[in-house]
Every structure is written in structure tokens, then in C-alpha cells.
Structure 1
Amino acid sequence: MAEQESMASMQSAANLAWANGQADMVHSPPHYNQAGIECIDAIRAATDGGYEYYLQGNIIKYLWRYRYKNGVEDLEKAKWYLEKLIEEIENE
């Protein structure tokens, strides 16, 4: 029970940061962290060998849409995924 309350408290703090414009929507958006687990970590664990393709797909997605949706924020997201992909390749 205490763990659930702690997780709820963390999520409430993340939501408050987002509402106040203090959340980093590129590097650590609060909606991508549930129960203390980052979504990217769960995806990496679930996709194993497909993780690099996942990263590549997201790079393409954000580069494709930046002019029509979120501008520089989408370019920053593409950069974030590119940095993750480079890190993956270097650690092989």
C-alpha cells in the first residue's frame, strides 16, 4: 500500500511539474514514467534486437513532422533518439 501511495505521489508531482510548464518534454516527459519505470527502458527490454529499429523509426517520425507539429521540440526529440541510437551502437 505504501508503495502505491509513493508511486501516486511521484506521478502527482510529475503532473504538477507539467501543468506548471516545468517538465522537460524532450528528455523526460512525465507521462512516459509510470511507477518509476521510464517507457524507453520498458521498450528496450521488450524489443531486444528490435530496439535499434525502434529508435530509428522515432528519429524519422520526429524529423518528418517537425514542420507541421511541434517545430524545434520535435527536432530535439529526434536528436534525443539519435543520441540513444549512437549510444546503443557504441556499446555493442
Structure 2
Amino acid sequence: MTLVKPDYYASNGEDLFDRFEKGLLPDPNQVRGFYKGNVIKYLTRYQDKNGIEDLEKAETYLDRLIVFEQKSTP
């Protein structure tokens, strides 16, 4: 897994992804939608914009979605 995580993803030292999952986005479906939307965004633009970097970002969001779903499944 390639983690693309620039400094601006953190707020007050806390990872923004973790903040979404801890309640910044109150509905788990909002978290899912955020991750899925970003996967789609980066996959559809990679050839015209940032190439491999966008594929790595899509991978980061997909990996986060997988972990989120694993934690959500009883």
C-alpha cells in the first residue's frame, strides 16, 4: 500500500481521515461516500492530470474504505 498523505490532511495533529470516522461525518454512509467519491475522482482523472500520483491517491482512499468496512462488519 502506498500512503499518500500530505501534511495538509492533518488538522491539529489529528489525521483528517480519522476525524471523519470519529464523527466529523456523522453518518457512516457519508464516510463511505467520501472515500468512494475520491477513488472515482482520482481514477477518472489520472491520465489527464497527475498520472501515477493520482493512482496512488485512489489507492489510499480505497485502502481507507477497506479498513473502514472491516471495522464496520461484525
> Structures share a fold, TM > 0.5?
yes
- Report the structure number with the largest CA radius of gyration: 1
The question of 1:61 aligning with 2:38 is answered: no
TM-score (norm 1): 0.65
Q: How does 1:4-23 map to 2 (within 5 A)?
A: none
State the 1:40 CA deviation.
Answer: 1.7
Instruction: Please give the root-mean-square deviation of Cα atoms over the aligned residues, in Å.
Output: 1.6
Q: Which runs of 5+ in 1 are unaligned?
A: 1-24
One-letter amino acid of the structure 2 residue matched with residue 90 of structure 1:
Q
TM-score (norm 2): 0.78
Structure number with greater CO (CA < 8 Å, separation at least 6) is: 2
The question of 1:84 aligning with 2:61 is answered: no
Identity among equivalent pairs (%): 40
State the 1:31 CA deviation.
Answer: 1.5
SS at the partner of 2:48?
A: coil
State the 1:43 CA deviation.
Answer: 2.6
Aligned to 2:51: 71
State the 1:79 CA deviation.
Answer: 0.6
The question of 1:33 aligning with 2:33 is answered: no
State the 1:33 CA deviation.
Answer: 1.6
Q: Which runs of 5+ in 2 are unaligned?
A: none
